[in-house]
Amino acid sequence: NLITSVQGVSNVYSQHVPLLAETIKGAFKGRVPPHMSTHAGGDALPQDLFVYMVGGTTYEEARMVAAFNKENEKLGLRVVLGGSTIHNSCSFLDEVRAL
């Protein structure tokens, strides 16, 4: 029963964590995949991170970045998220159809 399986969960859809979350956490710890471009000025760990998503980003990723910024404000860590578009389900499917 779907109703009983989600009891105690305020929002089932907010349980998913975008892959971008792990990428951001890794970047602030100095662990970035080799195919990603970074510049932290030597051995220093970054305090500001600019992420640009070619092909677009999602509202879920933007929500996650906003939550990360709020949680890490006192540590001085900040992420700026940009992209060629902000996708919703319709715009994403339009992009897939255009392939």
Cβ neighbours for 59, distance < 8 A, ≥ 6 positions apart: 86, 87, 88
Say yes or no to pLDDT of 39 above 70.
Answer: no
Note the pTM of the prediction, 2 decimals.
Answer: 0.74
Residue 7 binned pLDDT confidence (cut-offs 50, 70, 90)? low
Token output for 68: 């990360």
Which is more confident, 70 or 26? 70
Say yes or no to pLDDT of 63 above 80.
Answer: yes
What angle is formed at CA 55 by the lines to CA 54 and CA 58, rounded to 5 degrees?
Answer: 100
pLDDT of residue 65: 96
